[in-house]
Chains A and B, each alone.
Chain A
Amino acid sequence: MTFFQAENLAINFGGIRAVDDVSFTVERGEVFTIIGPNGAGKTTIFNLVSRIYDPSAGRLTFEDHDITTTPPHRIAEIGIARTFQNIELFEHATLLQNLLLARHVNRKSGFFSELLFLPSVRRMEVEHREAVEKVVDFLDLQQYRDTFVVNLPYGVRKIAELARALCTGPKLLLLDEPSSGLNVEETDDMAFWIEDIKNLLGISVLMVEHDMKLVAAVSDRVLALNYGRPLATGTPQEVQNHPEVIRAYLGG
C-alpha cells in the first residue's frame, strides 16, 4: 500500500501547462523534496495536493483513498497539513489562537453548545490546549504564546506556521519552502526540526525547497522539476548530479 501517490498530475492555466504529467509517491516516514528553478510548478503541485486547485488530469491517492475531488477544507481532516511559502498566519490573533484554530478539525462542539459555553465545550477547549502545548514545547515557542502574530519576527512566524500545521495532527506535512527568508542558523534549526518531525513524531514530509544544503541534509528522496515536467527522481546526490538537472539550473 502506498502512503501518498500522485499519478500523471497535470493542470492548465489558460494556455500554460503549469504541471505536466507528474507522478511521484511518498512513502510513510520519509522526507520527499521537490526542487526546481523558479516557475517550475513546485508550489502549484502543493496547491494541487492541498486541493486548492483542481487538476486538469491525474489522480491523487492518500492511504488508499482517492482524494482527487476531496474539497480543500476536508484535507486537514484526513491528515494532510501544509505551510505557505509567504506565511499565511492569522495576523491579528495571538499565536495561541492561531494554533488552537489548527485544532478545528478535532472540534466536537456545535454552534449552540458554544453559544452557551457548556461544560463539554470547556473540557474540549482544555483538551485542545493540551494538544497545542505539546507542539509549543516541541518547537520552543513558549515565550510567544500570547503575542500577536503581527508583532512576531519573521523567523518565529516561519516556525509558527510549522507549529500550526503540526497542531492539526497530520500524517503528511507539506512544507512550502520552509527555509525561505531564514538565516543560516535558523535554516540549520529548521533542518533539525524536520528530522525530529520525521523521527520523533513519525510524520511524513513533502517539501518544496531551494536551499540544497537543507535538501541534502533531510531528504530521503528528491524530485527535480522544470517547466512543470519531472526531470529526475532519486536520492539528493543522484538528482544533484543528474545532467538534465544541471542543465535546467545552469543552462546550456
Chain B
Amino acid sequence: MRFLFKTAYEQDIKLFRDRTTVVWYLVLAVTVLALPAMLSRYYIGEITWVFIYGICGVSLMVLVGYTGLVSLGHAAFLGIGAYAHAYLVHHGVPWVASVAIAVAITTACGVIVGLPALRMTGIYLAIATLAFSVIIQEVFTRWEGVTGGFAGMAVDKPEIFGIRFSNETSFYYLCGATLALTLLLTQNLLRSPTGRAWIAIRDSEIAAQSMGVYLPFYKSVAFAYSAALMGLAGALFAHKIAYLAPDIFSILFSIQLLLLVIVGGLGSLQGAVFGAIFVALLPPIIAILRDSIPAGMADAAHATGIGLIGTIGHGIGEFLKKPGVEAGIFGLILVLVILVEPSGMYGRWTKIKLFFSMFPMYKRDSFKRQKSYMRSERLR
C-alpha cells in the first residue's frame, strides 16, 4: 500500500493522482495507438465502436451519473447529430464546420428538452425524454427531403482539411482522439464549480439551492452539454455506420446507452469507458461464440466419440442465432450487475485494485456502506 503525501493544494486539482497513474495511462495510450498494427481490420472497426460508444457514455454519465437526471431519449440526440452532420457534409460543408453545426443543433435541442427537466425528476422526466425520442424518430421517418425517410441516407467518408479518413485505421485514430478530448473536457468541468454543482443537484437539490446553486441553469447546462457530446458522437456514428435509417435511433438504443452507464458504473468517467467496452464488444463476442461453440463442440464430439456433445453444441449455436437472444443476454447481464455489483464495472475495478494494493490485508467489508435513514423527504 502506498501513501500519497500531499504538500500543495494543486495536487488535488491534478488530472492524474500521481506519477504511477500517469505511467499507467501512458501505457494505455501507447497500447491504443499501437493496436492497429497488431489487430485485423475487423477488430479495429469494433474498437472504433468502443470509442463512439465511449463518447455517448460520457454524455449520459454527465446527465445520469453526475446530475441525477434520467433520459430515455438520448438516441434521438445521437440521431439529430448524425443526420445533421451527414446532411451538411453531403451538401459540401467542410467537416469541422459541419460537426460544429451538428453539435450546435443538438445542444439547442438539449436545452429545449431540458426545459421540462427543470420541473420534473425521476420517472416523469424519463417519460418526457422518451416522448421526445419518439417524436424525433417520427421526424426522421417523415422528413424525407432531408433524411431520405425509410429509404435511408448514405454518409460520405470524412475529409478533414483535405485529409481523407477513408480506411478503418485512420478513422479509428480520429474517434480515439475525439474520445480522449471528450474525457479531458468533461474531467475539467467535473473538477470545477460546474461539476460540483451537478453533483450537488444529484445528491440534494434543496441543499444545493441553499448553497447558491441556481438549479434551472445547471440542469439546463447538464442537458445541453450532454446533448452536445451526443451530437459529436452522432457525427462519428454517421460515418461509422455509413448508412442512416430512422429505426436505428429507437428507444432500444436509448436503453442500451442507459445500460452502458449502469453496467460501467454510475458516477465515474472510467465507468463510461468500461461500459462502452462492454456494450460495443458484447455483440461481436456473441457472434464469435455463435460459430465457435458449435464448431468446437463438434470437434470434441468427433474426438471423444460422444455424439451428445455435438448435438448440444449445435443446439447452443442455433439458440444464439435466434433473434432477440442478444437483447436477452444484455438484459440478463444488466440484472446480474445490479444484483451483484451495483457500482458497476468501475466499482469492481476499484475493488480489484484495492485488493492488490493491500494484499494480503484486503478486507471484504472495505466497501460496505451503512444504510442511512436520516434524509429529509419533506421538502421534495
Contacts and interface: CB of A to CB of B under 8 A. Distances in A.
Interface of A: 47, 50, 52, 71-77, 81-82, 84-93, 96-97, 100-105, 107, 109, 111, 114-117, 121-122, 125-126, 129-130, 133, 150-151, 154, 164, 168, 181
Interface stretch (B209-217, B234-242, B310-318): B209-217
A151 B366 CA distance: 10
A179 B369 CA distance: 24
B188 interface: yes
B211 A104 contact: yes
B372 interface: yes
Give the size category of B's interface with A: 35 or more
Contacts of A77: 212
Q: Is the interface of B mostly helix, strand, loop or mixed?
A: helix
B41 interface: no
Contact of B189 (A82, A101, A115, A126): A115
B13 A88 contact: no
A235 to B, nearest CB: 30
B203 A91 contact: yes
A101 B192 contact: no
Contacts of B211: 76, 81, 101-102, 104-105, 164, 168
B207 A114 contact: no
Contacts of B204: 88-91
Given A88-B204, A168-B211, 4 more contacts: A73-B213, A73-B215, A75-B212, A168-B212
Most A-side CB within 10 Å, residue of B192, B213, B375: B192
Nearest to A77: B212
B182 to A, nearest CB: 11
Nearest to B187: A117
Contacts of A89: 203-204, 207
A137 B197 CA distance: 24
B203 A92 contact: yes
A93 B379 CA distance: 21
Interface of B: 9-10, 12-13, 185, 188-189, 191-197, 199-200, 202-204, 206-215, 221, 267, 369-370, 372, 374-376, 379
Closest A-B pairs by Cβ, 7 of them:
A76-B212, A86-B376, A90-B203, A88-B207, A114-B192, A105-B212, A117-B188
B210 A114 contact: no
A104 B210 contact: no
A73 B13 contact: no
A200 B13 CA distance: 31
Contact of B13 (A71, A72, A126): A126
A151 B369 contact: yes
A122 B14 CA distance: 10
A87 B206 CA distance: 11
24 contacts: A50-B210, A52-B379, A72-B209, A73-B213, A73-B215, A75-B212, A76-B212, A81-B210, A81-B211, A84-B206, A93-B200, A97-B196, A101-B193, A101-B196, A101-B211, A104-B193, A104-B196, A105-B212, A111-B194, A114-B193, A121-B192, A129-B13, A168-B211, A181-B374
A195 B10 CA distance: 33
Contacts of B206: 52, 84, 88
A97 B199 contact: yes
A226 B223 CA distance: 45
Contact of A92 (B192, B199, B208, B374): B199
Contacts of B374: 86-87, 154, 181
A74 B210 CA distance: 8
A167 B87 CA distance: 51
Given A72-B209, A101-B211, A96 B192 contact: no
Nearest to B204: A88
Contacts of A102: 211
Contacts of B9: 125-126, 129-130, 133
B168 to A, nearest CB: 31
Given A111-B221, A154-B374, A82 B200 contact: no
